[in-house]
Structure 1
């Protein structure tokens, strides 16, 4: 059981993060973001089941009065940490989402709301309906072409329900700390997803790259005001330079999309290893063995 537990809870998450880091700039961002986040959710869920199975087995061992080996204590400790982390993360995300929806509902006007504020900013608020908020400072600072790109970028976030993919990635990370890079990698790919949608709508990849750079320079933290996360994966440029560089090159060839099977297979493997752990548990004989 322990070998399957280690494969599901240690090997699979690390392999998934490594495969994502390698593929992040080599794939079209839309299918890559979907594959990354979906695989992370599956790995986190499979790991949780595996930890629960090993913990149940450990409790059975304790009930019959036997001593536990060190891997079982690690599994029990991991279960406590994971449950506490997921509960806290889910609570934070729920509060954040509810606050965003309340703000969106309170704003006047249609899908786009212009706020009389000098600080340049543009972002989306999920809700029913969702809103795009842009400050007057952003409108004054950007030219007409760049303004069209930023708005197309935000419309892509809103129409694509990108907050749901971000939420799923954050919950996966909350459920398994070894997946902590997934939040940054998935966030980066979702920003790239919106970038490509904006480039498609405006018909000019170079103008889109220029607008992203302008918007990043206007932001106090040097990032896209739409909430791009820090890129903490492989060494190299930050997320905004990477996004600009990607737009200045052609989109990755669809022929390389088969490589997205790697994170998917890692996720499938985690499910298989978790199933093996459960089989081992059912064959353990319980406390009367």
Structure 2
């Protein structure tokens, strides 16, 4: 039973992060982002169920007046940490999302794009009903017409693609299982790449898109991330903007390589199977719950 528990709660999250890191620049960003977030949510949920099942068994043993073995104490401690982490993370995300929606609703006018008379160059998207795209006059003055079109296409991609929802799901998965912390960086990067590719598709010029991304990043390093995004860090190699530019200067990854996205999906499926086996081990005759 303990081996299935460890596979679900330790091996699966580690394998998922490793597979995502290996595939991050080798897949179409839209497909990769969906596969990454979905797999992370499944792994976090399966691990939580596994930890909860083992913790319940430990509590039953304590109620019966016996002392559980050390793996069960570990599960109880991990459950307490995960519950506190998820509760805190969900509270923070809710406050942040509500604040963004209030800010979007308070913006003047009814147009999706709002130009703010501010000298600081910035462009960002606010989710809401409806969402809004905010661009400062400083950004408009600093960018040429071609680069301005790219930046706006990038922000429209965030808004129309509801990218904040994918970011929110990844962050809640990390909150539920802290060992997935690197997922938030990888997903944040892929969301930016997703918007970059949509902008390149709309403008029809990958090189011009790369140039505009670089210009906007130099003008406002923190202004080009969507609501809730985080920087790409913790892995070897150049920073997120150089990676994004380099990807735009190359052709899109071939669709024939999309089968590799089955790796994180299979890891997620494995975590579900291992969780199920751990629960079966707990309940079967002669198992820990029958002793």
CA distance in 2, matches of 1:17, 1:75: 21
CA drift at 1:63: 1.7
Paired residues of 1:60 and 1:286 also in contact (CA < 8 A): no
| Segment drifting more, 61-70 vs 4-13 | 61-70
CA distance in 1, matches of 2:168, 2:127: 12
CA drift at 1:268: 0.3
CA distance in 2, matches of 1:180, 1:40: 10
C-alpha deviations, 1:35-90, integer Å up to 9, x for none?
A: 00000000000000000000011111112222221111110000000000000000
Task: Call closer, same or farther: CA 1:171–1:224 in 2, change over 3 Å.
Answer: closer
Paired residues of 1:223 and 1:240 also in contact (CA < 8 A): no
Task: Call closer, same or farther: CA 1:165–1:228 in 2, change over 3 Å.
Answer: closer
CA drift at 1:231: 1.8
Instruction: Give aligned pairs, total.
Output: 289
CA drift at 1:177: 0.6
CA drift at 1:287: 9.1
Task: Call closer, same or farther: CA 1:148–1:205 in 2, change over 3 Å.
Answer: same
CA distance in 1, matches of 2:268, 2:226: 33
| Segment drifting more, 194-203 vs 213-222 | 213-222
Task: Call closer, same or farther: CA 1:226–1:70 in 2, change over 3 Å.
Answer: closer
CA drift at 1:106: 1.1
Paired residues of 2:55 and 2:75 also in contact (CA < 8 A): yes
CA drift at 1:229: 2.7
Paired residues of 2:281 and 2:288 also in contact (CA < 8 A): no
| Segment drifting more, 242-251 vs 227-236 | 227-236
Give the TM-score normalised by the residue count of structure 2.
0.95
| Segment drifting more, 66-75 vs 144-153 | 66-75
Q: What is the aligned partner in structure 2 of residue 14 from structure 1?
A: 14
Task: Call closer, same or farther: CA 1:72–1:267 in 2, change over 3 Å.
Answer: same
Paired residues of 1:216 and 1:224 also in contact (CA < 8 A): no
CA drift at 1:224: 5.5
Paired residues of 1:55 and 1:76 also in contact (CA < 8 A): yes
Task: Call closer, same or farther: CA 1:262–1:220 in 2, change over 3 Å.
Answer: closer
Paired residues of 1:61 and 1:287 also in contact (CA < 8 A): no
Paired residues of 2:30 and 2:194 also in contact (CA < 8 A): yes
CA drift at 1:286: 8.8
CA distance in 2, matches of 1:259, 1:158: 28
| Segment drifting more, 218-227 vs 62-71 | 218-227
Give the TM-score normalised by the residue count of structure 1.
0.96
Q: In structure 2, the residue corresponding to 1:124 is in which secondary structure?
A: strand
CA distance in 1, matches of 2:257, 2:151: 29
Paired residues of 1:122 and 1:225 also in contact (CA < 8 A): no
Paired residues of 1:54 and 1:72 also in contact (CA < 8 A): yes
Structure 1 unaligned regions, length at least 5 = none
Task: Call closer, same or farther: CA 1:237–1:166 in 2, change over 3 Å.
Answer: same
Task: Call closer, same or farther: CA 1:286–1:268 in 2, change over 3 Å.
Answer: closer
Task: Call closer, same or farther: CA 1:45–1:228 in 2, change over 3 Å.
Answer: closer
Superposition RMSD in Å: 1.7
Paired residues of 2:123 and 2:223 also in contact (CA < 8 A): no
